[in-house]
Amino acid sequence: MNTLTIPTPDDWHLHLRDGEMLKGVIGHSAAHFARAIIMPNLVPPVVTGADAAAYRDRIRVALPQGASFEPLMTLYLTETTDPDDVEAAANSGLIKALKLYPAGATTNSDSGVRDFDKVVPVLERMAQIGLPLCVHGEVTNSDIDIFDREAVFIETVLDPLRRRVPGLRAVMEHVTTADGVEYVKANDTDLAATITTHHLIINRNHILAGGIRPHYYCLPVAKRETHRLALRAAATSGDARFFLGTDSAPHPTDLKENACGCAGCYTSVNTMSLLAHVFEEDGALDRLKNFASLNGPKFYGLPVNQSQMTLVKSDQPISFPTGFETGAGHVTVFDPGFDVFWHPQ
């Protein structure tokens, strides 16, 4: 099989940033994806419907001419988020989810939630109106090992929260562990997970063995190989509860290659090529459409894209740029460490 045609994919977890960085990266997502869930962790964060409308307009202005790309906006859940503002923004079609960052969990998460009691009224309203909560599922306690933070979050935060707010629809974003996969599979309704491209490819050895590789550092941090294999199995299974969220997160190269390097991998350029490679390797090319094009819209209650993408397999390896310049600095592109032959036509 040398060509594969699927409904145009969507990216259900994307960081576009703002200003010059936004201008520098938006074209990559618009080239391959019809829609994306846009993360709200700007500085300051996108917290109100008015913030989201203004950010959506800046994204639209930054789009290359003629591009058809729909930003699906989210609000950053804070302890002072107003349920009425959330409902109005959801009813108008402006926002498609709220994002929960435990305070301090990752890049620009200082405004996140410390006291979960304070956000229960918003979560209850979301359950009533069917608005999903996108969850960064890591605890932030300094006494919890970074490799255990997802599993501990499920047990101590997510599961109790879901019991407390029945009917709350939640997406475990960028799930990185077999524990996360199992938790999603054990729950029939109201729960799904996004999986990134890079977590299907790297494990923690890629980051740390034989020298530290900052461009493989992201949060949640890649775990051991058994977890990567669990993610591969979930993504390639076709199970409707798992779908693509690249978590492509641009940082200037000098802030990645730094004594305290930022977390985030940039995969918007080569995600579809890498996914075709991964799915072919696992004998699941026919299920790439489920992961990248069908399962996300189904969970979010949106139509599948009418347009199509055709991926073609070349005889020769595809060459991607190792990085690119933006008005906010150079960005390094995720390097899978192997040759890929698939590319969107």
Q: Using CB under 5 A, which of the segments 241-249, 252-260, 265-273, 309-317 binds Zn ion?
A: 241-249
- The C-alpha atoms of residue 59 and residue 261 are separated, in whole angstroms, by 27
Reduced DSSP (H G I as helix, E B as strand, rest coil) percent helix, strand, coil of the chain, to 5: 40, 15, 45
Say whether 239 is catalytic: no
Closest by CA position to 257, among listed 337, 146, 331, 325: 331
- The C-alpha atoms of residue 9 and residue 309 are separated, in whole angstroms, by 8
Parallel, antiparallel, or unpaired: how do β-strands 242-244 and 308-313 relate? unpaired
Compare residues 10 and 247 and give the one whose CB is closer to Zn ion: 247
Least distance in Å: CB of 147 to Zn ion? Answer: 18
User: How many angstroms separate the most distant Cα atoms in the chain?
Assistant: 57
* Contact of residue 41 among Zn ion, ligand NCD, none (CB under 5-8 Å per partner type): ligand NCD
Q: Which residue, chain included where needed, has tokens 């605890």?
A: 139
Residues 97-116 contacting ligand NCD, CB under 6 A = 106-107
What is the residue-wise DSSP string for 243-294? EE---B----HHHHSSTTPPP----TTTHHHHHHHHHHHTT-GGGHHIIIII
Residues 253-272 contacting Zn ion, CB under 5 A = none
* Contact of residue 218 among Zn ion, ligand NCD, none (CB under 5-8 Å per partner type): ligand NCD
Compare residues 268 and 305 and give the one whose CB is closer to ligand NCD: 268
* 247 contacts ligand NCD (rule: CB under 6 A): yes
Q: Using CB under 5 A, which of the segments 54-62, 68-76, 206-214, 247-255 binds Zn ion?
A: 247-255
CA 86, chain centre distance (Å)? 21
Least distance in Å: CB of 238 to ligand NCD? Answer: 25
* Contact of residue 235 among ligand NCD, Zn ion, none (CB under 5-8 Å per partner type): none
Active-site entry in 85, 247, 254, 339? 247
Q: Using CB under 5 A, which of the segments 89-97, 156-164, 243-251, 276-284 binds Zn ion?
A: 243-251
With CB under 5 A as the rule, give the number of residues binding Zn ion. Answer: 1
* 15 contacts ligand NCD (rule: CB under 6 A): yes
**Which position among 112, 245, 264, 336 is part of the footprint of ligand NCD (CB under 6 A)?**
264
* 247 contacts Zn ion (rule: CB under 5 A): yes
Strand, coil or helix: 51? helix
**Which position among 62, 126, 249, 272 is part of the footprint of ligand NCD (CB under 6 A)?**
249
Q: Are 2 and 313 in contact (CB under 8 A)?
A: yes
Q: Are 222 and 176 in contact (CB under 8 A)?
A: yes
Residue 186 CB coordination number (10 Å)? 8
Compare residues 209 and 255 and give the one whose CB is closer to Zn ion: 255
Residues 135-154 contacting ligand NCD, CB under 6 A = 136
Least distance in Å: CB of 248 to ligand NCD? Answer: 9
Residue 298: CA atoms inside 13 Å, Cβ hemisphere, count? Answer: 19
Least distance in Å: CB of 199 to ligand NCD? Answer: 10
Paired tokens of 206? 């890629």
What is the residue-wise DSSP string for 108-156? T-TTSBS-GGGGHHHHHHHHHHT--EEE------TTS-GGGHHHHHIII
**Which position among 22, 157, 172, 218 is part of the footprint of ligand NCD (CB under 6 A)?**
218
Contacts to Zn ion by CB under 5 A: 247
Contacts to ligand NCD by CB under 6 A: 15, 41, 106-107, 136, 218-219, 247, 249, 263-264
Q: Which residues are catalytic?
A: 247
